[in-house]
Structures are given as C-alpha cells and as structure tokens.
Amino acid sequence: MKARIPISLAVEDDVSERVVRRVLKERSVEYDVGPVYGRRGFGYLKRQVASFNNAARASPFLLLTDLDQCPCPPSLLADWLGQSRRHPHFIFRVAVREVESWLLADDVNLASFLGSRRRIAIPNPEGLEDPKSTLLGLAAEARRREIRDAIVWRNKGSGELLQGPDYNGALAPFVEEVWNIRRARERCPSLAGFFAALDRLEKRDR
C-alpha cells in the first residue's frame, strides 16, 4: 500500500479549497491534508509566498491562486517569486482566469445543479474575462430560489450582481458531488496543468 503524501494548502477562498480537495481525491495516491492557509484573497498569499516556498523544504506545499488580470501564469509566478527559486515540492498553480472557470467548464452539470431556465454552453471557460461574474449571472437566472438567493445578490441601485450570502456553501455540493472534473480538465489547460504538477510530485515521492 502506497504511503499517504502529507501536504499543506494555501488558497484564496473556500471554493478554491474545496476544488483543491476534490482534485486530490481524484488521485490514485492518498493525500494527508494538513494546515490550510489563506482564505482571504490573493494579497495574503502573495505576501506569504516566500514562507510557503520555504516550508516546502520540510513537506509538500500547494498554493492555488487566480490569474485575474495578470497577462499569463508565468508572469504571475515571476512577479510573486521574484528571483527566488521554487522548491520542487512547492506546487504553485494558477487558475485561468479564476477557479470559477474550472466549474463553468462542466456547463452541462452546472446548468442542472442551478436549475437553469436555458441551456448553458461555455465552449472556452478560460477565455472568459470574468468567470465569476458569468457564474453569478447564471445563478441569477436559476429556477431554484434557494440556490439563487444563496449564490448571488443584486444591488437594487446599480443592478450589479454581487456574491451572495452563502456563495461558498451553496457551491460546495456541486464541487464535491456533481462536478465532472474529467470534462473540466479536458477544457481547461490550467486545470490539466494542476494534474500534471501532481504527477511530478507523486513520482518524486516514490
């Protein structure tokens, strides 16, 4: 029996953490998830990235952040790490453009989960300028009121769609039980790259 791989996590928010845990569950090797850092946006992660890189000397460490408006993942890594050399056990992954892209990649199941009034087709989720706004827009049209009210809130003055009061909690069942991660992986190169990084870690850990 293969030994479990201990790993610490650093994420922007609760949805990102659930996505990472779901990805790790898909592996043939079992992971023993230890401390989880962050859940306060990218600013904290950027400030602490050197500490996370150094911590990887003792045990594997995984950081997931969103690309947002940065031109490309290599530019973000260069900006965050500077001249520091990334430790081989420090898995630094960037979701293009946001982790919501990976969820939107399974548009068929997402439509069913939301109870969408119309067919959803998102052929290029990583090409969306603002994936989270796209998801909020879909949720605003959902038939299931409990899902709609939890995920999205509409500003009555401006009409702007904002994150709802239980955005993370409402999406949890989709991420953990419904999300077709194989389909998402085929449509999102940054998610496929995440799996490739885990392949490399697991080979080194043998």
Domains of the chain in sequence order: 5-96+188-205 (3.40.50), 103-180 (no CATH)
pLDDT at 119: 85
Q: Could you read off the pLDDT of 53-92 as tens digits, one per residue?
A: 999 999 999 999 999 999 999 999 999 999 999 999 999 9
Which two three-digit tokens encode residue 23?
A: 């990805």
Which two three-digit tokens encode residue 170?
A: 């409402």
pLDDT mean over 22-50: 96
Residue 158 dihedral angles phi and psi, to the nearest 5°: -95, -20
* CA–CA dist 22, 159 (Å, integer): 34
Percent of the chain surpassing pLDDT 70: 98
* CA–CA dist 145, 183 (Å, integer): 27
Q: Could you read off the pLDDT of 148-194 as tens digits, one per residue?
A: 999 999 998 898 999 999 999 999 999 999 999 999 999 999 999 99
Residue 206 — very low, low, confident or very high, per pLDDT cuts 50/70/90? Answer: low
Provide the pairing of β-strand 152-154 with 161-163. Answer: antiparallel
Q: Which DSSP state fits 120?
A: -
pLDDT at 49: 98
pLDDT at 2: 66
Q: How far is CA 190 from CA 62, 97, 109, 140, 203, in A?
A: 15, 9, 20, 27, 20
- pTM of the entire structure? 0.95
